[in-house]
Amino acid sequence: MTQTLSTSFSQDARRGHPLWRTVRSLGSLYTRAMLAIDAWANLPAVRPFALGFIVSGLLLSAGIYAASPWYVLLVNRSNSLPQTLFLLDKTRAPGCGDYTAFDMPRDARFYRGSRMIKHIRGCAGDIVHVEGQRVLINNQSAGLAMRRSSNGQYRLQRIDPIVIPHGKVYLAAIHAQSYDSRYASFGLRNTSELLGTARPLF
């Protein structure tokens, strides 16, 4: 099911975001690597190619820096999703089936203040059903909720059955131990929290 969420991105998409530093640092790292290659490439026959790489790196860094208010590179550091690198498009509201990102509130139970990358598994009108610890959306499995955290320290409560209301989404990931909307402490998220559409690169 494809459904565009009614989140307004017009102002946020054109407003600078602190996480552009992540993109800028990646470009800076690339440039430093090219400089190292240039320092190593002392042979006259090799040096022009090294300089070409450096110029391309500088141009790439400048392009990414200029686009940073609207686009952000996100690195997935967990096993929750198979992809590692995402491009967050802050100009495009995500729909059901898209990947998205949001910032976990600082008063959350887990992952306080972390930027989470998730798959929009359910939207307004979809039915969340449970069978024991298994969570289903429109009768399709959305994962099995664990009773305790993976380290055994915390007790977990699965989400209750619900028809997803307007302005809410069910966020999920494919890993069995992923922390997502299958748990009550994560719950359905407000569409206003979503930062844009995250496109997997690899």
Q: What is the CATH code for 72-200?
A: 2.10.109.10
| Residue (of 178, 196, 165) closest to 11 by Cα position | 196
Read off the amino acid at residue 123. Answer: C
Helical residues (DSSP H) of 41-154, grouped into ranges:
47-67
Q: pTM of the prediction?
A: 0.68
Helix (H, G, I), strand (E, B) or coil at 147: coil
DSSP class of residue 112 equals T
Domain positions in the chain are: 14-68, 72-200
Per-residue pLDDT of the chain (202 residues; tens, 9 = 90+): 444 444 444 444 444 444 445 555 555 555 566 556 555 555 555 455 555 656 666 566 566 555 568 888 899 988 889 999 999 999 999 999 999 999 999 988 898 999 999 999 999 999 999 999 999 999 999 999 999 988 888 999 999 999 999 999 999 999 988 999 999 999 999 999 999 999 999 8
CB 57 within 8 A of CB 31: yes
d(CA 36, CA 42): 11
- Inter-residue contact 31 to 61 (CB < 8 Å): yes
